Structures are given as C-alpha cells and as structure tokens.
Chain A
Amino acid sequence: MNKVQIAIIGAGPAGLSTAIELSNMGYDDIVVFDREDEAGGTPRHCGHLGFGIFEFYRLLSGPDYAKKLTKIAADRNITINLKHTLVDISKDILTFSTTDGLVKYSAKRTVLALGARETPRSARLVSGIRSPNIMTTGALQRFIYLHNTIPFKNPVIVGSEVVSFSALMSSRKAGINIAAIIEEDKELNSFSILKSFSETILQTPVKLGYEISSINGDDKEVKSVTISKDGIDETIECDGVIFSGDFTPESALLQENFKDFNFANNSVFISQAFQTTNKNFFAVGNVLRGALTAFKCFFEGKRLAKFIDDSLKQEKLKPQHVKIEADENIQWYYPSLLDLNYPSKILTNLRVNKKTTGRIIVSVNDIDVYEKQIDAKTYTNIKIPREAYPVSKNDTIKIRLES
C-alpha cells in the first residue's frame, strides 16, 4: 500500500490547479493521477483558441493551455502518475490499474476531478442505423487534434451548445464541411449571434426546432438524416453525425461507491467546501455537473486547495451538512450540501432545463424563505444567494422552479 497525503484523480484543469495551489501553500506530498498517457485533460483536444485569458492573461489554444498547466505542475515537482486508471475506491482505498499491475494508495484526502463526457447517440435513443461515423464532438476532436485524421467530409452536428460551434470550427479547420446544425429547441443553447455567424459567414444552415428523427444509410455508411419540425420531414444528405454537448459527469465509479448519490446532478453531493458526504473525499470541476469552461474548473481547483488545507489543519472539525434538493426543472446545481461550519454568500449555482421566465424558490423544511425572478436560458448561470434565514443541521433545503 502506498501512502500519500493528498491524491488528486484527474490531471485536467481542475485537478492540476488544485495541485498547484496546494503546492504554493507548501504541501509537498501530493500525487496527481490520470488514466491518459498525457496530462492536461480535455483542453488537449480542443485545438481552437479561447483558453488562458483569466488564468495566464494570454490567449492560448487548448493544447497549449494543457501544456502550460502541466509545465507549472512539473516545475513545482508535483508527481503526476499517468496511465493510472482508477478502478475502485471502496473502503477509501484507491486502486489503480497500471501496466505494472494493480496499485493501491491510501490518501488522507482525495480529490475527485474526473471530468465529464458528452451524451452519446445511444443514450438519446435516436432512431436509425448504427455506424462508426456517428460520434460525439470529443471523439471527432481526438481524430483531428491527436491523430491528424478526419473520419468524414460532410456530417451534420446535433446540438447548439458552445461545444457544437467548437465542433463546427474544428471541422472547418480540418477541411470538413458541416451540412447543417440541428437543434431541437426553438433557439440556440448558446449565444444567439452564433446562428447568423454560422449561416452568413460559414454558410452552414442552423435548423432550429428540428428533431432528428432518423439516421439513414446502408451497411454502416451514413447517407442522410431525416429531421422533422411540426410533423413535416426533411432529409439532409450527410456522411456522418456529430452529437455535441449534453455533457454528463464521468461519475459511474462514484455512483457505485457513494451510498448517497445525487441523481439530479448525476454526481456526488458536495458542500461549498467541495467536500462529499465522505469527509476525506472532495470533488471538483466538471464531474460536479457536466462541462463548464476550463477557467471555471481552474479557479474551482484553486478555491478547493484552501478547503483541503482547512480540513487537514482541523482534523477534528466535523462537517455540518444540510442537504439541498432541487426539482426536475433544474439542469444541475452545486453545491448540493450546505456546510454550516463555513460562512457562505452563495447557497448554490444552477442552470435551468429549458428557457424559463419565472421564479426560483428556496424553501427550508417546506417553508418558502427566498425567491428570485429569472429570465433564463439553458446556458445562463444563476447564483442563488445564501440569505439570513436560519438553517440548522437536520433541515432540508429545497429549490424549485415556477414558471
């Protein structure tokens, strides 16, 4: 059994920034683990610009940003164990699969920075053929940025989140012509200016309000997709389908190991100190809620370092967790526990499931204590402040959306 003071699982922006900040604070018994053969996480295969402004005051591409983070960690002599796949965390023992055999670690504190992935076609239950040319943006970006190949020439993109336009830009750069962007909602799930940008500058039609009703082809070759709006079908010829966005936390191992799993977020419950219901385990970054930008994950990691420092310095301090629950209209929310040991200005951060004009209401033991008017889209980040209503340990805080 290997012993380490702080184990960090995941060498992406959240994990690395936690490690770097802890190192800045003087901690030197830290090991970062990653299952890939290179550190840096998802930005490694986001070849476009848009990274680093807030962290490093310069505009970087994803791969350059990943390299920079990795270099800072290396300069601090932080150990990064690559090709370590976490396969078990039961009994607080971290078991990794490595080519040298199974390796076990016990850590005083463990940080779960496991990241997120896109929802694939299967989980969306889309009708049609099966083909290797039906994939997610993540898969496409790895073809382009890590392997220098393209799998198709003329696919459609399903979804209209920021990542969908990232898929569009990556594709254009690689010589792939996007036949259309298809979005089920009546408006984009990202800044509306992107529609006219796509259509006028890139000549890529954006089909809003269309459901993809089937993927057509023969013998594993995609030939077209049928999309429909108000019962009327339309066919778009294409040779591939990119399912983009709808990120979901990489949380299966946590679902199997945490008795109390937050199904609403598809992740573990965490407090404003990023602490889970197991006081030695913390979770940070996109494993909490699906994808936000790298800089959000970076700054969360930085904040987390202070809470880990606190918890190590005050071993005897018991968390005072009050559970926060949310209804099904909330896309995700975090923190999902309120730790009464810490003062807090924010109760939780959340996004709504669909474009909503209405009210967010907070109740304590079913008595409404706070409400906020919102006019929100699916990508609007909403902060719910922690106001001066009394909450004690065995209370239940609930958040609901009324439109």
Chain B
Amino acid sequence: MKQIDLNSLFSKKTVDFNDNEVFDIAVIGAGVVGCGIFKEFCENGAKTVLVEKANDILEGASKGNSAILHTGFDAPPNSLELDCIKKGYEEYLKIKKKLDLPFLNTKALVVAWSDEQEEKLEAILNKGLNNGVKELEIISNKELALKEPNLSKNAKAAIVVHGESLIDPWSTPLAYVKLGLQAGGKLAFSHEVKDGHFNGEYWEIKTSQKTIKAKTVINAAGLYGDIVDSIKGSKDFKIIPRKGQFIIFDKTAYNLINSIILPVPTKITKGVVITKTAFGNILVGPTAEDQESRTDSVTKKEMLKTLQDKAYDLLPALKGHNITATFAGLRPASDESHYRVMINDEKNWITVGGIRSTGLTSSLGLAKHVYELNDKKYTKPKKAKEPIEIQNITEFQTRDYETSDYGKIICHCECVTQREIQNALKSEIGAGTVGGLKRRTRVTMGRCQGFNCQASVAQICEESKS
C-alpha cells in the first residue's frame, strides 16, 4: 500500500520576484509581529518582502497563545509595550470594523483567591488606571458569584476589566499578510536566513534559498531574534524561550464561564488563565517554564495534570467535560522583561525582539512604532478596491456549515466544510503546513482529533498538491 507522508502534504511555496530586486524593507519572521509590520510598510508604499523560514505564517511563537485582546491594564507603566498594546487595540478595532473580523467583548476578571491576593487588587486597579485603562472596577465575591456562578466559591473578590476581549489569533495575522500582499508586498517562505552583508546601500541576506536584497532589515524573528540580530554585528540581547502548556476543554464546557478569568499576577508570569476561545472551547494555561531550546515544545503529563487540577479547583464544573487538545507554545522572552525594539541607523537595521506574550494585541501598534522609527517616506500605493477575503472560523459569526453549497462536512467535530478546506489551500497565501491548514480551518482540532477526518483531509491535501 502506498505510504503518504503526513508531514509533506504541501509543496514548498515559490517566490515571484527576481534576484536583482532590491526591496526597501525585508521583514524577517512571519509571526504575528512580522505580519503586522509587513502590512504597515506595504500599505505605506515601501517595497517590502516578508522572509520566513517555515512554509507558512505563525509557525513559531505565534501559533500558541491565549487569543486575548489585552487592554494593557497590567502592562509595565510608561513602557513601549503599554503604548503598543493600546495603539494595537485601537487599530484592531478599526481593522475589525473594516474587514468584519470576529471579536467578542467578554471582559476579564482578575480574581483574588486568598486574603493576600485580595490586598493586591487595589494596587492592580490603580496601576490600570494610571495606564490609562479607565473601565475597571473592584467587585465583591457576591457580585462575582452573580457574574460567574460556576466559579469556585473560594474567590474573595475581583477586578472587572471591561475592555478585555477575545479574537481569532490566526485569521487576524493572516488578514494582515493579505492586506500587505494586496498593497504590493512579496513573500519568501521556506527561506531561512543564514547570514547577511550590508554594503552601505543595501543588505544582501543569505537564506537557505535565494539571496534577498533590501535597503533596511527589520528583525522580527521571534524565538530566533537574537541569532538573526547578530548578523548586524553586535549582540544586544538574548532570547530565553519560555514554554507555556495549555489544555483545551470540549465545547460542552463553553458556557461554564462568561469572562476571561485571570489570576493575580506574580513577578514572573501573568499566571494561569481560564478563558473561552473564539472557537467555542475553554482554554486553560499557560504554564511558564524557561528553557534553552527554541524548538522543544513537548507537553509534559505532570504539568498538564497540574493545570487540569488547577482548572478543576477554580472551576469545579469543568469535571466531566472532555479534554479536546493539549499543546505547548514557546514565548520569545528575553533576558530583560521589556520589548527589545531598537534601530541601528548606520546599518539600516531595526530589531523587534523579546515580544513575549502581548504580541497579538500589540502587533499593529508595534508596526506603527517601527514605521515611525524607520522615518523614511515612500509613495503610497492606490488603495485597493477589492476587499480581501477572510474565512470566519470562530463561533462569533456565521460559519460555512450554516450556509449552503459547501459540498460536505469533512471534520464533524469542528463542522469544517470541504469548501473551507479548499479555500484554505488555494492562493498565494494558502496553507503551507499541516498546522497552517488547521489554523485556517480548525480541521482535526476537535474532540476526536482526527479519528473521523484525518485520512480525508490528507487525501484532499495530496490531491491539491498535485
């Protein structure tokens, strides 16, 4: 019987620019930050190429996060991070309106589970107010019980953060790339950056495939940020990957909570969050485990059990609901906790590093900040009239299976249609990896994890490849 290699169901993406092309900007790294920067520069008329070592976007740190649009209430005061979160949040609301992107304002509750934590609430509230986040209030455990009747009765009090919301962490950056492409940007996927040389006028970036020429390099290489940064000749920071493990509970649990349940943070981490997801599940996580490896994202049973127990403690009604998925993501934390954004004017090199856990929210704000740092004028292209197409895969808007003419449903758990899969596979920015297809459609991500549809999906991919 013929063997099918499930790890190479997708052909390598090709580039459509020639070797002599000198770009204004090369963005290295197609994580959420890189995608946002790509969009910003393309829309402002810079000839921009997005260089990525994987065969799709979001293959590094950006693939695993908690999908929350943050207000910045707990961000470091007077920091670039806070500025970018706030600007990013606003920009998201604008783009969401324009593109009809999904958004659910669930609000967040910072819940104190001990007297000691309760004492800290006031300080958290004041920090939020100082950060310019106005809609905050402290509520008693009685009010909390009305808002969240399924939460453990051990809660002492909570802060309501009205602005915190849920978005789709995958379609959003995909939309940024599509907008960039529409404005004339180019992609170079499966191009791993190996080295570079600045000749005083432009960079020659050596990759695993082509050498790419660009006047300015923007390093948004995430987990590899420090390695790529050393190409410019100095090492200014060190990435210390921080692993976060997550558990996704079945959709049956979706209505157990209404808001994002946040813990009172410690110095190291924001702690374990319990939240609904845009896809109709309950997510619990992340853990925070510093490590050397930039690739090791294995899950650990003991850790997952601890997470599970923690979740049961805080939300006892979760018992009896199945676990749908477990995964681990790596956050590109650096040796200092703040964002590492800097420009080297002599070398035409901008570093955007150490964006550890707020990148999804801040990306558009960061993109604007980086554009201003670059301080160059380009000729703006004409605004495209054609709207870009974004498939809705969240539960906040109509899904394809609720319409008609979709062919058939392939993935029964997530109700993913044949048409959705085919759409996700076509076009320049179609899925280039198994993960990429999942992120565009949710296929095989449900409770059966492919028991029903993995073989059909593999066949569709094989057919579309040839």
Contact = CB atoms under 8 A, between A and B. Distances in A.
A146 interface: yes
Given A87-B401, A99-B404, A219-B295, A149 B4 contact: yes
Given A83-B409, A147-B456, A255 B252 contact: yes
Given A85-B401, A143-B458, A252-B251, A121 B327 contact: no
Interface stretch (B73-81, B172-180, B298-306): B298-306
Contacts, number: 154
How large, as a class, is the contact surface on chain A? 35 or more
A126 B1 CA distance: 30
Given A85-B401, A148-B1, A122 B305 contact: no
Interface residues of B, number: 52
Given A127-B300, A132-B7, A142 B402 contact: no
B322 A97 contact: no
B48 interface: no
A139 interface: yes
A118 B451 contact: yes
Given A120-B448, A149-B1, A151-B3, A99 B405 contact: yes
B447 interface: yes
A194 B454 CA distance: 29
Most chain B CB within 10 A, of A98, A100, A123, A248, is at A123
B387 interface: no
A114 B434 CA distance: 29
Given A125-B308, A129-B298, A147-B455, A85 B415 contact: yes
Nearest to A221: B7
Interface string B304-327: 110010000000000111111111
B434 A132 contact: yes
Contact of A138 (B327, B447, B452): B452
Given A117-B448, A139-B451, A252-B251, A101 B3 contact: no
Contacts of B301: 125-127, 213
Contacts of B326: 122, 125
B463 to A, nearest CB: 11
B402 A102 contact: yes
Contacts of A174: 1
Nearest to A121: B449
Interface in B34-69: none
B192 to A, nearest CB: 13
Nearest to A123: B323
Nearest to A102: B402
Interface in B270-306: 295, 297-301, 304-305
6 contacts: A122-B324, A125-B301, A127-B304, A132-B434, A133-B7, A135-B450
Given A99-B407, A139-B455, A256-B251, 10 more contacts: A99-B406, A122-B326, A126-B299, A127-B300, A127-B301, A143-B458, A144-B1, A147-B458, A219-B295, A220-B7
Minimum-distance CB pairs A-B, first 6: A120-B449, A132-B6, A101-B404, A142-B455, A263-B320, A138-B451
